[in-house]
Structure 1
Amino acid sequence: MNVQSRELTVTYKIVPPPSTVAPQSLSQETTHRFTVEGQPEDSKGDSELKYYALLRSSIAEARIKLGEELTAWRDAVGNAELVKEKSVKAEVEDEEEENAEE
């Protein structure tokens, strides 16, 4: 019998502005693995419900972990992204004005 590992894998890569000081405990490229505890039995029914309950638990754990890390990155980036967003909005507004004139 071949038993497969059941896990949820999440990978992300952060590309912050060059002026960003990275949080010490975090890496710009990270992979997390969250084990889906327990093994569903071969029979249908309750075992499937149990598996999905265990999967939801692993997803909740992943959301908490990623939320903490991405919040730390957001705090590290601070207002540096605002400059980037303003220039993108200005370009879009310029394009809209050009299209309106045509």
Structure 2
Amino acid sequence: MDVQSRELTVTYKIVPPPSAVAPPSLSQETTHRFPIPSLPDLESQEDSELKKYYTSLRTSIAEARTKLGEELTAWRDAVGNAELGKEKSVKTEVDDEGEEEENTEE
């Protein structure tokens, strides 16, 4: 395998409702980079190289999930109940459409 710098990059942009008051520590647009570390060569077989790469990749993905989970939970807490009404109206519209389709099939 190439000895290149590898990384997992995650970018997100949050558009909170105007009523949400987010702490200054939260950024609405964020990019994180998680390096995929090279593991020392234990064997020179290709299967082993691929296995080591995926092991490193899983480690980086776990770090990304933890970091994003913490940040998105903080955003959820900052937004609070401001989004609740929005979700209910969307759900109601979807339910109404399903009932209309059922009525036309009869």
TM-score, structure 1 as length reference: 0.83
What does 1:8-87 correspond to in 2, within 5 Å?
8-38=8-38, 43-87=45-89
AA aligned opposite 2:51: L
What is the alpha-carbon root mean square deviation over aligned residues? 2.2
AA aligned opposite 1:16: P
Give the CA deviation at 1:63: 0.4
TM-score, structure 2 as length reference: 0.80
Give the CA deviation at 1:97: 4.8
Call closer, same or farther: CA 1:98–1:48 in 2, change over 3 Å.
closer
Give the CA deviation at 1:100: 5.2
Looking at structure 1, the residues matched to 40 and 11 of structure 2 have their Cα atoms a distance apart, in angstroms, of: 26
Given that 1:7 and 1:36 are in contact with CA atoms closer than 8 Å, whether structure 2 keeps it comes out as yes
Looking at structure 2, the residues matched to 101 and 43 of structure 1 have their Cα atoms a distance apart, in angstroms, of: 62
User: Which consecutive segments of 4 or more residues in structure 1 shift more than 4 A?
Assistant: 39-43, 96-102
Given that 1:34 and 1:58 are in contact with CA atoms closer than 8 Å, whether structure 2 keeps it comes out as yes
**Aligned-partner SS, 1:23:** coil
Structure 2 gaps of 5+ residues are none
Call closer, same or farther: CA 1:21–1:47 in 2, change over 3 Å.
same
CA deviation string 1:55-91 (max 9, x = no partner): 1000000000000000000111111111101222233
Give the CA deviation at 1:24: 1.9
Looking at structure 2, the residues matched to 94 and 4 of structure 1 have their Cα atoms a distance apart, in angstroms, of: 53
Given that 1:36 and 1:55 are in contact with CA atoms closer than 8 Å, whether structure 2 keeps it comes out as yes
